[in-house]
Amino acid sequence: MSDMIPSANITRTRANQEHYVSDIDETGLGAVDAVPDEGAPSSMWGEAWKRLRKRPIFWFAAIIIAATILISLFPGLFTGQDPAYCVLERHNGPAASGHPFGFDKQGCDIYARVIYGARASVSVGILTTIAVVIIGATIGALAGYFGGWLDALLSRITDVFFAVPLLLAAIVFMQMFKESRSIMMVVTVLAAFGWTQIARITRGAVMTAKNEEFVTAARATGASRARILVSHIIPNSMAPIIVYATVALGTFIVSEASLSFMGIGLPSSVISWGADISAAQGSLRDAPMNLFYPGMALALTVLSFIMMGDAVREALDPKARK
């Protein structure tokens, strides 16, 4: 047995007894236990961005959303045609040079109306989402942080509005004020009844965040309750709010299109996808493409926001990734 073990690794402790001793490790314990600190630790948003940029669905949705917003802001860059210029002689005419989508039953350029219709639909969606986040996040944060009678009062108010269907309430109020229909009117009505879900999400997130250790540390430093809520709790509760707001933006675009489709949304002087879809349903058999193009633009826009919301949710929520 002694012939099989190198002599350098043999230590005699007793007579006629041998045992194996490993070579001395030249690496110190300090180097083994050291934690690499070449770079600063990534934040939650930094880690989310690392995961998002590796997902094709995120880039697909981001490209469509960016293109839609660019079209909404600068429609003149994509078409030189006047969407309000209609010639009846071109009734349901086929595609022609400078008119790739053809003409509708009024002789209007469908491509130009699809391009200019993005402005109204996207504007309603973005403005309504901003208003809903402000209203819902404020109510939910106050209810979740302070609790007690304020939580009970705000929760009951939220339940009352939550019980009213969004589209039904919008139909009723738009009918009441149909003489003063405008983009801001649609935004106001949708925001007045669309904030309840974000309020509930914010309340739950704030109730979870206010029990974290960083809040206890902030109280120990003498920070006021308002400062703790604004500077510590709300920033750490934004992840579920952003996820829902991204999906809700597409929902509000559909709501505006539904109201315009029924003729009680935006006024007829405002070009929108919902109004064009409503006008095209009468010629569905003769010219189905009149409905296809604005409907496809609406569907792609809403789908992109839904996919973006799913991608952001999976990037921010470890449970969703599992």
Domains in the chain with CATH codes: 67-320 (1.10.3720.10)
Q: At what angle do helices 289-316 and 56-73 cross, to 10 degrees?
A: 130
The string of pLDDT tens digits covering residues 47-57 is 777 888 888 88
Round to whole Å and give the CA distance between 242 and 234: 12
**For 37, how many CA atoms within 13 A lie in the half-sphere containing its CB?**
4
What is the residue-averaged pLDDT of the chain? 82
**DSSP 8-state secondary structure symbol assigned to residue 306:** H
Q: How confident is the model at residue 2 (pLDDT cuts 50, 70, 90)?
A: very low
List the Cα angle 84/88/89 in 5-degree steps: 130
Beta strands in the chain (DSSP E): 10-14, 17-20
| Long-range residue pairs from 19-27, CB within 8 A, at least 24 positions apart, any chain | none
pLDDT of 194 strictly over 60: yes
- The reported pLDDT for the residue numbered 23 is 58
- Residue closest to 99 by CA, chosen among 113, 111, 117: 111
Q: Which is more confidently placed, 34 or 285? A: 285
Would the pLDDT of 8 be above 60? no
pLDDT band at residue 140 under the 50/70/90 scheme: very high
Average of per-residue pLDDT across 109-122: 90
Position 229 pLDDT exceeds 70: yes
The model's confidence at residue 89, banded by pLDDT at 50, 70 and 90, is confident
Mean pLDDT of 171-177: 87
Tokens 């045609």 locate to 81
pLDDT in the model for residue 31:
53
Bridge partner residues of 109 (DSSP) = 103
Give the per-residue pLDDT at 5.
Answer: 47
208, pLDDT greater than 80: yes
280 touches 291 (CB < 8 A): yes
**pTM score, two decimals?**
0.80
Cβ distance 278 to 158 under 8 Å?
A: no
Mean pLDDT is highest, among 8-12, 123-127, 222-226, for: 123-127
Residue 127 has pLDDT above 90, yes or no: yes
Distance CA 151, CA 157 (A): 10
Confidence band, pLDDT 50/70/90 cuts, at residue 282: confident
Q: Residue 103: what pLDDT?
A: 87
Higher pLDDT, 241 or 1: 241
| Cα dihedral 108/114/117/121 (nearest 10) | 150
